[in-house]
Structure 1
Amino acid sequence: MKKILKKLYNKTSVGRILIQKVIDLNVFYWTRIAADQRVIKRVYKESFGRPIDLENPKTLNEKINWLKLNDRTSLHTMCADKYAVRAYIEKNIGSEYLVPLLIHTQDPTKITKKNLPDSPCIIKTNHDSGGGYFVINKEEIDIFKIQSDLKIRLEKNYAHNITREWQYKNIPPLIIVESLLQTKEGAIPMDYKLHCFNGKVRMIQVDIGRGTKDHYRNWYSIDWKREPYKWSSKKENGKYTDPANFEVPAPKTLTKMIELSKVLAKPFCYVRVDWYDVDGKLYFGELTFHHDSGFAPILPSEWDLALGSELLLAKTQSQ
């Protein structure tokens, strides 16, 4: 049957149109109509090859997906908002950890070469997950393409996809421009992602060479010893962000990162707190509530279970 459909799609224009309509309807159903729990069950089984247990979750990935469905508060929405979270950071640890904000607007046409700073910056939206547009020299960018891309991003609701991360649903879309953090050598600083269980830092993720074919991901304990598992993401080239065969030195700000992460993580059952260390100066990155949407296997698999046993699911109330 697949061969017949493929032949119809590739060889006839009518077949291509009809099959594409079916594909579009299927995507629409799974992203906009199907119940969250049904979507999560389907995607989890595709990712792990086994059903998810949402009644009695045991592994870390099962518990992350359970939290998606059962731990929904206005504070999650605020902290997933890359603009609104700034108020949370300022209130709890101080504005000195915020990356300087240069522009915030709902209008893509306000992002012009005239309005952008002469210094390096990053342009992004506040309501989705993913990177932004790095601007080193504003005279070299295609500003009209960026405006067009931003318009498309503003119209999308990140909650309407197969990850079913509810916290993005009610974020008012916004464009923000921040200073681009760079080291004295002009390099993008290393980012450190502290995974917090029940208000305490459990492990630290270090991504090396992000955005390149040599993107590695090392895992460390809070006393900077290599963890015995990997929790990798798929790269654009089809390979994975597996750990490197070399070590990354602990940042000088490690103790401060851990202390501040505990403060920020206190209201949440599970959260990942991201930081940048720029030549010893610490900057907050973002808060992430469902690492890789709970669909990335932890290997060896017994560590998914072991880490899951350490995360206690508190009684929560959805809104």
Structure 2
Amino acid sequence: MFDAHFRYGRRLDLVNPQTLADKISWLELNGDRETMARLTDKFEVRGYVAEKGLSDALIPLCGGPWTSADDINVDALPHQFVLKATHGCEMNYICRDKSTLNVDDMVTHAQRWLASDYSRACVEPHYKLIPHRIYAERYIGGMDGVIDYKFHCLNGVPSFVLTCSNREKSLKLNLYDLDWNAIEGLQGSMKNAAGIARPSALSEMVDMARTLSSDFDFVRVDLYERGGKVYFGELTFSPAVGVLPYFTDEFIKRWGEVLQIGRKQN
């Protein structure tokens, strides 16, 4: 029995995995780390998305990738852009107006990202294999008002959707089935009492999630909807370090019975 209770508030059984958290964590330790690393890499995954015929959902690039912050050619970047790191989470620098951009501050952030070892901070070994790079994407709008649709896909099939909203203030979570019926399963202070409107492109999102998850036992497919268009966010193989502390014990037990680990080569 692996005890993650001290750090994460939930114990994991990696010898005889039963719950969804157990099985996701088991896959992290026993799956194909090279594939997980390649598709967790926020730059490399773009190739996979394109191979699946979904290149139209990719946010356009406008620079990079760079292995050194000194290589960033700010003059060549558009008036608005987002600088991102390939190898971790919460490594985004938004430029809404290049005329007021603090270049030194941006470069400092980029240098800090490049020097960070996210695999040690998050205890997710596959991050160790991701090259440390930065790149720039076109700015499509801030996160205020944007909903993050996280399709949790089990056995190559989208199964339920976790939504993240109110990111710039106090993150709120909602949980839905694929017909957009609210379902129980969340716990903690981030649980949102208010509902999230059904996205107009829900059917398209479900199809995209199914296409992108078909090769894996488990993966979370993150999508956004902006101006009526669906954008790809990322693929995540071990959300919340695999422990899923925002889900109830009953919820992860129920979905653990559904997930069949070893069915596909992760």
Give the TM-score normalised by structure 1. Answer: 0.77
Equivalence for 1:133: 93
1:252 aligned partner, one-letter code: S
Equivalence for 1:175: 134
Higher mean alpha-carbon deviation, 281-290 vs 245-254, is at 245-254
**Structure 2 Cα separation of the partners of residues 261 and 202 of structure 1:** 10
Residue correspondences, number: 265
Contact residue 181 and residue 188 of structure 1 kept, 8 A = no
- Write out per-residue CA displacement over residues 7-39 of structure 1, whole angstroms, 9 at most, x where no aligned residue: xxxxxxxxxxxxxxxxxxxxxxxxxxxxxx9xx
Q: CA deviation at 1:112?
A: 5.1
1:58 equivalenced with 2:44 (yes/no): no
**Structure 2 Cα separation of the partners of residues 212 and 43 of structure 1:** 29
1:221 equivalenced with 2:177 (yes/no): yes
Q: How does 1:250-269 map to 2 (within 5 A)?
A: 250-269=198-217
Contact residue 157 and residue 169 of structure 1 kept, 8 A = yes
**Structure 1 Cα separation of the partners of residues 47 and 219 of structure 2:** 18
Q: How does 1:280-299 map to 2 (within 5 A)?
A: 280-299=228-247
What stretches of structure 1 move > 6 A for 4+ residues in a row? none
- Aligned-residue CA RMSD (Å): 2.2
Identity of matched residues, %: 28
Equivalence for 2:63: 103
Contact residue 216 and residue 265 of structure 2 kept, 8 A = no
Which structure's residues are more often strand, by fraction? 2
- Write out per-residue CA displacement over residues 74-123 of structure 1, whole angstroms, 9 at most, x where no aligned residue: 221110011111110111123211100001122212335423211x2111
Q: How does 1:159-308 map to 2 (within 5 A)?
A: 159-161=119-121, 163-182=122-141, 189-213=146-170, 215-230=171-186, 240-242=189-191, 244-308=192-256
Flag structure 1 segments of 5+ consecutive residues without an equivalent: 1-36, 233-239
Give the TM-score normalised by structure 2. Answer: 0.91
The verdict on how the C-alpha distance between 1:317 and 1:191 changes in structure 2, with shifts beyond 3 A counting, is: closer
Contact residue 124 and residue 175 of structure 1 kept, 8 A = yes
Contact residue 97 and residue 282 of structure 1 kept, 8 A = yes
**Structure 1 Cα separation of the partners of residues 82 and 229 of structure 2:** 19
1:313 equivalenced with 2:261 (yes/no): yes
Higher mean alpha-carbon deviation, 151-160 vs 256-265, is at 151-160
The verdict on how the C-alpha distance between 1:231 and 1:172 changes in structure 2, with shifts beyond 3 A counting, is: farther
Flag structure 2 segments of 5+ consecutive residues without an equivalent: none
Rg comparison, structure with higher value? 1
Q: CA deviation at 1:295?
A: 2.6
The verdict on how the C-alpha distance between 1:187 and 1:300 changes in structure 2, with shifts beyond 3 A counting, is: closer
**Structure 1 Cα separation of the partners of residues 218 and 265 of structure 2:** 15
Q: CA deviation at 1:150?
A: 1.0
**Structure 1 Cα separation of the partners of residues 137 and 125 of structure 2:** 26
1:280 aligned partner, one-letter code: G
Which structure's residues are more often helix, by fraction? 1
- Write out per-residue CA displacement over residues 275-319 of structure 1, whole angstroms, 9 at most, x where no aligned residue: 11112111111000111112332554222211211111115778x
Equivalence for 1:19: none
The verdict on how the C-alpha distance between 1:172 and 1:154 changes in structure 2, with shifts beyond 3 A counting, is: same
**Structure 2 Cα separation of the partners of residues 78 and 153 of structure 1:** 18
2:14 aligned partner, one-letter code: L
Q: CA deviation at 1:43?
A: 3.2
- Write out per-residue CA displacement over residues 43-91 of structure 1, whole angstroms, 9 at most, x where no aligned residue: 3444236x42111111111111111111124221110011111110111
- Write out per-residue CA displacement over residues 181-211 of structure 1, whole angstroms, 9 at most, x where no aligned residue: 239xx96532211110011111111111113
Contact residue 222 and residue 233 of structure 2 kept, 8 A = yes
Q: Secondary structure at the match of 2:47?
A: helix
Equivalence for 1:47: 8
Q: Secondary structure at the match of 1:127?
A: coil
Q: Secondary structure at the match of 1:169?
A: helix
